Copies of this chain bind each other. A is one copy, B any other.
Amino acid sequence: MATAADGLQGLAKRARVEDAVAWIDAHVAPLAAEDVLLAHAAGRVLFQDVLAELDLPPFDRAAVDGIAVRADETVGASAYNPLLFRLAPYAGGPGDLPAGSAVRLNAGAPLPRGADAVVPLGHVEPHEGGECAVIEPVVAGSEVERAGSQGARGSTLVRSGRRLGPGDIGLLASAGRARVGVVRRPRVRCLSSSAAFETGTSLPAGAACDAIGPMLRTLIERDGGVLAEQHDAGSKPETLRTAMALPGADILLLVGRNDDAAATLAEAGTLAIDGVALRPGAATGIGRTTAGVPVLLLPDTPAACLWACEFLAGRAIRRLGGRSPQFPFAPRTMTVSRKIVSEIGMTEVVPVRCVNGGGAEPLPSFAAAGLRAITEADGFVVVPEGSEGYQRGTMVTVYLYDERARAQS
């Protein structure tokens, strides 16, 4: 039977952040592929190179709205010597262009046979009687996208590991792909050994642990994971052991870090790291089940849980999904507008606000302000373990939360 003295083992021997990161990088690899509709592939990571099955474009086509002509028939054209072309009807596909004629087409349309250049609309003057005047000569190939110029059949269109954006989707669509193989989304099982996921009815309103469920879901989805399950597993070792043995998850997050959970993980799998020199987030454990599924033991105060995710759990999820393991924030070099003090031996996260003139102003710490520190911040600075902090004016890397602070366009 548990006594009041149970759970007094401390976390004095903390791993360095870089060792915790190295463990994750060594033990967590991207998942296998799944086939998805191109319409659902935005933001996903391409599993293997996609090769062009056709020349791209598959035919010579207009690069601009204009008229398709035979370039040699425009020689000598000028404002003083406009050359007249008869406008032939355009059927919407190839067909012969009669000599002395032009066809009006929009950008992207296939050139009629015989045409080898497009005169942009701005260089064409409409004329009476179904004719138009060209006032500048063009050379063969002008404003024409040649068949195969954007990718010969068999060449690589998009490389594996690429996170698919609008342009990639457009390119794959125009190459005729309806489906594409992407890295499977990691399924994340979240368990609590405390009341972290209770909705508050049985807890005093505003209890810290209320915050963690919705926050974790947001973090998991941002990093490309799917929250497969989120529930309170209770704090009994046998319940935790059962949960660890259940199939169906690619990673397990166990919130409500306590020594029972660490002991259970050590018994039922491997406890590789027990405590990390990270502030906030020191009470983090890392290991895996006997089946090799990564397990993260996360602290149950919101700010500590957040940073344990940003540095470690999120990194594992990003790696599983084939994404870059790095922070999903833009780093920018800035100068510190006030001194930052940090304890030697701990990697410390310091929230900052961007101030006029390009400086980064440190804000009250997470210890003092909790999550509130984030909502006031434009980003954060990471003070490494070996540093006591930064003097005013030091150049540091600031990770910015969103484009508001970093936009310059």
Contact = CB atoms under 8 A, between A and B. Distances in A.
A306 B167 contact: yes
A31 interface: no
Given A8-B104, A372-B151, A173 B211 contact: yes
A22 interface: no
B8 A132 contact: yes
A209 B371 CA distance: 47
Contact of A214 (B38, B256, B257): B38
A371 B174 contact: yes
Interface in A37-68: 38-39, 42, 54-59, 61, 63-65, 67
Nearest to A149: B368
A170 to B, nearest CB: 3
A369 interface: yes
A370 interface: yes
Contacts of A157: 372, 375
A110 interface: yes
B374 A331 contact: no
17 contacts: A4-B87, A4-B88, A7-B104, A9-B121, A11-B122, A12-B122, A38-B214, A39-B214, A57-B206, A57-B208, A58-B207, A106-B257, A107-B301, A150-B372, A157-B372, A170-B218, A173-B212
A124 interface: yes
Nearest to A8: B126
A89 B403 contact: no
Contact of A4 (B65, B104, B221): B104
Q: How large is the interface on A (under 10, 10 to 19, 20 to 34, 35 or more residues)?
A: 35 or more
Interface in A160-213: 162-163, 165-176, 194, 200, 204-213
Interface of A: 3-12, 38-39, 42, 54-59, 61, 63-65, 67, 87-90, 93, 103-104, 106-108, 110, 120-127, 130-132, 145, 149-151, 157-159, 162-163, 165-176, 194, 200, 204-219, 221-222, 256-258, 282-283, 299-302, 304, 306, 309, 324, 326-332, 367-372, 374-375, 382, 397, 399-404, 406-409
Contacts of A222: 42, 165-166
A154 to B, nearest CB: 14
Nearest to A94: B204
Given A8-B124, A403-B328, A206 B174 contact: yes
Contact of A209 (B108, B122, B194): B108
A369 B149 contact: yes
Nearest to A105: B7
Given A167-B375, A327-B403, 16 more contacts: A8-B126, A9-B126, A11-B121, A55-B206, A58-B206, A106-B256, A108-B208, A108-B302, A110-B204, A150-B369, A165-B218, A165-B222, A169-B218, A171-B371, A174-B207, A331-B408
